[in-house]
Copies of this chain bind each other. A is one copy, B any other.
Amino acid sequence: MGTTQLETVPEPKYWHLKTVLSEALDSEFAIGEILPNERELAARFGVARATLRQALEQLELEGRLQRRRGVGTTVAPPRMGVAVGDRAHSWEDADDAAWQPVDSTEAEPPAAVARLLDVPPGTLVHTVRRTRVSHGQPIAAELLYVPSDSVAVPAIDTPPGAPRARAVLRELRRVALEGREQSVELGSARADDAKQLDRLPGAPVLVVTTRYTAAGHTVAVAVATYRADTCRLTFGDGPAVELLAS
């Protein structure tokens, strides 16, 4: 019992490196400032570049750094709070500049979405693509799935692209909604989402799945992909949570 054996577990180098870098970011760098390049940092700390990169990846995952190929590594600003749960329904604000409709097609939804929509696999549904922008930055890409019997107009004679997307949303606004369920999970950006989000494929994202219900059945399902590096999703009764976790 008296043997105060300190664990002789050598902390991984990249972990220690991450701590050192994190403290340096707090004390010696300003937001937006560019760091020395990876080869120089690795040499400065006496580690291989791959090890240095492991530390940088962690810091990027935590939203402390931003890395862009061909440019460099910069100190990221604090994550922005993004409300995903406090407005009644995200398509009700017609003038809201947050969501920009991109286009709309009729397509077969993924199997998981078909189950949520409670339609047979293979059913064609309106598929509206939207982008959410905040502070001039794309922060989310969304696919909104709307079964054809939820909206009156098939939008077949509406010009494709944004106009057709707006037409579906306009029809959707006429539906009296009664409830909503949401879930959040970690994912990695598909190629198309990554392009919209200005990230590389595989970048970590927060996937928000929303099911909208009315009159006891599912009206629409939205799958929104938020940049995990720059976004903090806020829910709640009141105004957005203002501050970060430690």
Contacts and interface: CB of A to CB of B under 8 A. Distances in A.
A197 to B, nearest CB: 14
A241 B183 contact: yes
A112 B245 contact: yes
Contacts of A223: 245-246
A115 B245 CA distance: 10
Interface in A81-116: 81, 85, 110-113, 115-116
Given A180-B236, A181-B239, A182-B241, 19 more contacts: A58-B188, A61-B204, A62-B186, A62-B188, A63-B185, A79-B185, A81-B183, A115-B242, A180-B237, A181-B235, A181-B241, A182-B236, A183-B233, A183-B235, A184-B232, A185-B228, A185-B244, A204-B204, A223-B245
CB-based closest 4 A-B pairs: A110-B246, A181-B236, A185-B232, A186-B228
